[in-house]
Amino acid sequence: MSLGFKIYSYFNGNLVHKDSLGNKYYHDKNNTLKRWVVYASGFGPDSLPTQYHNWLHNTSDEISNFDIEKNNQESLVKRRVQKHSVKHKENIEKGYKSWHPK
């Protein structure tokens, strides 16, 4: 996150919740339907649990306080990232030879 966005969040947002990973959830002071998250260092959108994702997208209006231990939540995030990562083929040239200009 940029410094400018953190300053904007400090002056224009109300801190609603901070999860066990350090992600901070805000809504706008004037419009409570405008919501955003400031991710903790080293984390991104894949670190959001479903309940927080639903709150951010205005599907739900409450954030349940179900904080899991930090180590347990980090392992859940790592498993989620591994599940959706692209598996590269071991032998790329199997049956196909790409053209290389000379």
- Strands (DSSP E) found in the chain: 13-18, 24-28, 35-38
On whether the pTM is more than 0.75, the answer is: no
* Per-residue exposure over 39-56, b if at least 16 CB sit within 10 Å of its own CB, e if not: bbeebeeebbbebbebbb
CA dist., res. 74 & res. 19, Å (int)? 12
pLDDT digits (tens, 9 = 90+) for 23-70: 899 999 999 899 999 988 888 887 787 788 888 888 877 776 655 665
